[in-house]
Amino acid sequence: MLDYGANTTTGDVLQGHDLTGRHFMVTGASSGLGEESSRALSNAGATVTMLARNTEKLDKAIERIRSNVPSADLRVGIVDLADLASIRSYAAEFLETDAAIDVLINNAGIMACPFMKTADDFEMQFGTNHIGHFLLTNLLMSAIQAGQNPRIINLSSAGHTHSDVDLEDPNFENTEYNAWESYGRSKSANIHFTRELVRRYGNELQSFAVHPGVIMTDLGRHLTQELMDEMTERVKSRATSSEEAKEFGGLPFKTMEAGAATQVWAATTNDLTDNNGAYLGDCKIGIEGGNPSENGYLPYIYNEETAKSLWALSEKFVQQKFSI
């Protein structure tokens, strides 16, 4: 395995890769990490289906990519992950094409927003970041299984350290809403989902959960100074790698190319075969108890019973069972 790290870029991890003939699907592709992942993958020859809920923003992202990669083979899908009907409609439409998906990158997300609900009455962060991707992934599973060396990459975060999932009150119906706790629950859910996919499908597919690092994207549009200060203090209290990290919070900002590198690496490398289901950060395998701002994670994200229970709860919420 190459000596990658926090400053590794998408160009670094794709150097020497020819992805011609491979099909990647990326959610949240109209800006930020989704756009950069789509650009980098298409630049390496891949066909990329870019999913987003806003047609105008997605069209502009495609224009930006094609100005950089004129030969980019890009396809478009409109889907709102906060609306189960939209997800079902898109999935049905896609499956009619009989196209295979080699890699699904569940990149889209919302972070630290005020208390809101999805179209189906789920708390917005849990509903969008987990439930939406849970349904989309399972509805597209036949196309994913038809892919070559199929993979599912779930964008998680060091934010998982804010909280594990709450299976008793996932929608904050009985507890006071906290934006960071909600975000943490949803990011922990992304990891539990990853682990359960691997438990269910075994060697039929690979799945990885990814911490991208701190990048200035539209994801932070809901952040107030108060929320930023709260996040910094939380991270400082958990930083473990150095005294500097403990003092300043260990929140080094990354470029977009470095931020998208870990999910692109997870989607394309052959170095992770023996680590299926792993949590990744800074283009490295996660370390239990390590610095969350790098590739550290808390042990509750690898609890098999929690993962199984979350899957069952998610099936209940979308009113559909999925079996292998």
Residue 236 lies in a domain: no
Burial of residue 154 (CB within 10 Å: 0-12, 13-18, 19+) is: buried
Residue 149 identity (one-letter amino acid): N
Please confirm, yes or no, whether 183 is among the known catalytic residues: yes
Question: Model pTM?
Answer: 0.91
Residue 321 identity (one-letter amino acid): K
- d(CA 45, CA 289) in angstroms, rounded, equals 38
CATH classification at residue 264: 3.40.50.720
Residue 156 belongs to domain spanning:
10-220+253-312
Residue 1 lies in a domain: no
In this structure, how many other beta carbons lie within 10 angstroms of the beta carbon of residue 53?
A: 18
Our CA angle for 227, 279, 321, nearest 5°, is 90
Residue 323 lies in a domain: no
Give the rounded distance of the alpha carbon of 125 from its chain centre.
Answer: 13
Residue 284 lies in a domain: yes
Residue 43 lies in a domain: yes
* pLDDT tens-digit map of 129-187: 999 999 999 999 999 999 999 999 999 999 999 999 999 999 999 999 999 999 999 99
How many domains does the chain fold into? 1
Going residue by residue through the chain, which has 324 residues, state the pLDDT in tens, using 9 for 90 and above: 578 999 999 999 999 999 999 999 999 999 999 999 999 999 999 999 999 999 999 999 999 999 999 999 999 999 999 999 999 999 999 999 999 999 999 999 999 899 999 999 999 999 999 999 999 999 999 999 999 999 999 999 999 999 999 999 999 999 999 999 999 999 999 999 999 999 999 989 999 999 998 776 554 454 556 655 555 565 655 555 545 445 545 566 799 999 999 999 999 999 999 999 999 999 999 999 888 889 999 999 999 999 999 999 999 999 999 987
Residue 270 lies in a domain: yes
- d(CA 261, CA 315) in angstroms, rounded, equals 32
Beta-strand runs (E) in the chain: 23-26, 47-52, 73-78, 103-106, 151-155, 206-211, 279-281, 284-285, 287-288, 296-297
Residue 246 lies in a domain: no
Residue 227 lies in a domain: no
57-91 b/e (C-beta count within 10 Å ≥ 16 → b): ebeebbeebeeebeebebeebebbbbbbebbbebb
Q: What is the CA radius of gyration of the chain?
A: 18
Considering the candidates 4, 90, 177, 183, report the single residue annotated as catalytic: 183
DSSP secondary structure of 138-151: HHTHHHHHTSSS-E
